[in-house]
């Protein structure tokens, strides 16, 4: 069996995307910044990527900057705005991806910034009144993710954008999970900076984009050549750009169909998993990205469950990919008020375009079996040995 249910970690590169990239390795190999014909041809990939990103966000092409991916976009947005300000206060949340959290910790520990890490409620949502209260006279940036990578929970972005705007504070959102899955219009939502990564939406790894609204000026990120108005130097990844553009175009065209498919399979999966006693869907009552199911199984060590599924050829995740392998329970679920054991008992399933009902049914039946077996041999489950596990 081969069943991939970890699309929040990465996706396969769509065949059409791969094919759109190929010419830029071969005949269109020029440097997109060169002034001759080879350069102009290669530069078409760069323009295409920016046009597609601008289209999907309701932005201008001049507001799109190509980067090496989501991590770089987050680093540039956060460190760039902080550095341009020099000092001050930053507001973010406790459930951000490490690409955001670790930038904030760095600015706090090494650069003297103050950082507020907003808590979330049990559904994984921040309270926007608390956000507004946290604003100080020297707040230089608000960074709140669009949708969470572990739960799919969608933050109240429009409210946050409104608050940021009314206080004149730049608002960055890590939309790596959300782009191509939910409609986003940066102007309507009050977003000033937004991070994109291609490999989360059936594009290649190692390319992404940062939307920077006209008039917002983060410090330059890479010093060198004049690419990206001199703000992000480095020869363009033209094959990557062709891939990013194609992935965005396909996502834009197929989002509605994809979402219906993801939603139906996620519902089937949740209904099946909830038949196992002691199962809880994390973020169940919040609005979530279609196809994201984060489930806790009482008394189970999710790593043990994941390993058994892996042995059967089924790929799921324990918390986020970056922390799997370590025994730390998910900080996202801890922030949502789950205790250590509940957080350690969670698996993330993220559905993609190619998954089928049949695959979901196989996964449900194997998990039902494995959860039963693991509970029978786990001291923790026995200690807490409610009868309903039987």
Ligand X SMILES: *Cc1c(COP(=O)(O)O)cnc(C)c1O
* Residues labelled catalytic: 322
Residue 115 or 300 having the CB closest to ligand X: 115
Q: Who contacts 55 (Cβ-Cβ below 8 Å, separation ≥6)?
A: 248, 252
Footprint (CB under 6 A) of ligand X, residues 245-274: none
Give the count of residues interacting with ligand X (CB under 6 A).
15
The nearest distance, CB 72 to ligand X, in angstroms, is 7
Cα–Cα separations (whole angstroms), residue 362 to 26, 243, 359, 365, 372: 42, 33, 5, 5, 16
- What dihedral angle (degrees, nearest 10) is formed by the CA atoms of 339, 154, 101, 78? -170
Closest residue (Cβ) to ligand X? 70
The nearest distance, CB 147 to ligand X, in angstroms, is 8
The nearest distance, CB 37 to ligand X, in angstroms, is 32
| Helix axes 357-377 and 302-311, enclosed angle (nearest 10) | 130
The nearest distance, CB 106 to ligand X, in angstroms, is 16
Phi, psi of 212 (to 5 degrees): -125, 115
Footprint (CB under 6 A) of ligand X, residues 119-158: 145, 149
Cα–Cα separations (whole angstroms), residue 337 to 217, 334, 363: 37, 5, 28
Q: To 5 degrees, how large is the angle CA 69–CA 248–CA 29? A: 70
Residue 161 or 299 having the CB closest to ligand X: 161
- The number of residues in the chain equals 390
Residue 209 or 269 having the CB closest to ligand X: 209
Q: Is 99 in the site for ligand X (CB under 6 A)?
A: yes
- Asked if 95 and 147 count as a contact pair (C-beta separation under 8 A), the reply is no
Residue 200 or 338 having the CB closest to ligand X: 200
Q: To 5 degrees, how large is the angle CA 341–CA 344–CA 347? A: 135
Strands 64-67 and 89-93: unpaired
Q: Is 244 in the site for ligand X (CB under 6 A)?
A: no
The nearest distance, CB 321 to ligand X, in angstroms, is 8
Footprint (CB under 6 A) of ligand X, residues 282-321: none
Residue 98 or 268 having the CB closest to ligand X: 98
Q: Is 14 in the site for ligand X (CB under 6 A)?
A: no
Q: How many angstroms separate the CA atoms of 116 and 142, rounded?
A: 10
Residue 28 or 200 having the CB closest to ligand X: 200
Q: To 5 degrees, how large is the angle CA 198–CA 178–CA 362? A: 90
Q: How many angstroms separate the CA atoms of 265 and 270, rounded?
A: 9
Footprint (CB under 6 A) of ligand X, residues 155-214: 174, 176-177, 197, 199-200, 208
Q: How many angstroms separate the CA atoms of 138 and 116, rounded?
A: 12
Residue 42-71 contact track with ligand X, rule CB under 6 A, x = bound? ---------------------------xxx
The nearest distance, CB 349 to ligand X, in angstroms, is 15
Contact residues toward ligand X (CB under 6 A) are 69-71, 74, 97, 99, 145, 149, 174, 176-177, 197, 199-200, 208
């Amino acid at each position: 069996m081969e069943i991939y249910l970890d699309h929040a970690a990465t996706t396969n590169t769509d065949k059409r995307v791969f094919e759109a990239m190929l010419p830029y390795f071969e005949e269109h190999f020029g440097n997109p910044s060169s002034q001759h014909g080879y350069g102009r041809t290669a530069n078409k990939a760069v323009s295409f990527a920016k046009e597609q990103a601008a289209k999907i966000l309701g932005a201008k092409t001049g507001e799109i900057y190509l980067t090496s991916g989501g991590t770089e976009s987050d680093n540039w947005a956060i460190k760039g705005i902080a550095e341009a300000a020099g000092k001050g206060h930053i507001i973010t949340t406790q459930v951000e991806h490490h690409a955001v959290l670790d930038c904030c910790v760095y600015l706090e520990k090494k650069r003297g910034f103050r950082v507020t890490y907003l808590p979330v409620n049990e559904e994984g949502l921040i309270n926007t009144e608390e956000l507004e209260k946290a604003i100080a006279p020297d707040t230089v940036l608000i960074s709140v993710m669009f949708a969470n990578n572990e739960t799919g929970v969608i933050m109240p972005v429009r409210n946050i954008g409104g608050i940021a705007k009314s206080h004149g504070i730049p608002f960055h959102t890590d939309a790596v999970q959300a782009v191509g899955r939910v409609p986003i219009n940066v102007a309507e939502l009050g977003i000033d900076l937004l991070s994109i990564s291609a490999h989360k939406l059936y594009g290649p790894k190692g390319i992404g984009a940062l939307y920077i609204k006209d008039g917002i000026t983060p410090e330059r990120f890479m010093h060198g050549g004049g690419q990206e108005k001199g703000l992000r130097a480095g020869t363009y990844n033209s094959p990557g750009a062709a891939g990013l553009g194609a992935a965005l175009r396909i996502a834009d065209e197929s989002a509605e169909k994809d979402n219906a498919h993801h939603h139906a399979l996620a519902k089937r999966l949740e209904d099946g998993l909830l038949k196992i006693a002691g199962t809880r869907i994390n973020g169940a009552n919040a609005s979530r990205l279609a196809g994201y199911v984060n489930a806790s199984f009482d008394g189970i060590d999710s790593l043990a469950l994941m390993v058994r599924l892996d042995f059967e050829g089924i790929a799921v995740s324990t918390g986020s990919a970056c922390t799997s392998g370590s025994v730390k329970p998910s900080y996202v679920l801890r922030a949502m008020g789950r205790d250590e054991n509940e957080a350690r008992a969670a698996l993330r399933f993220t559905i993609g375009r190619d998954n089928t009902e049949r695959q979901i049914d196989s996964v449900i039946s194997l998990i039902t079996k494995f959860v039963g077996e693991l509970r029978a041999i786990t001291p923790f489950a026995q200690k807490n040995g409610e009868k309903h596990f039987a």
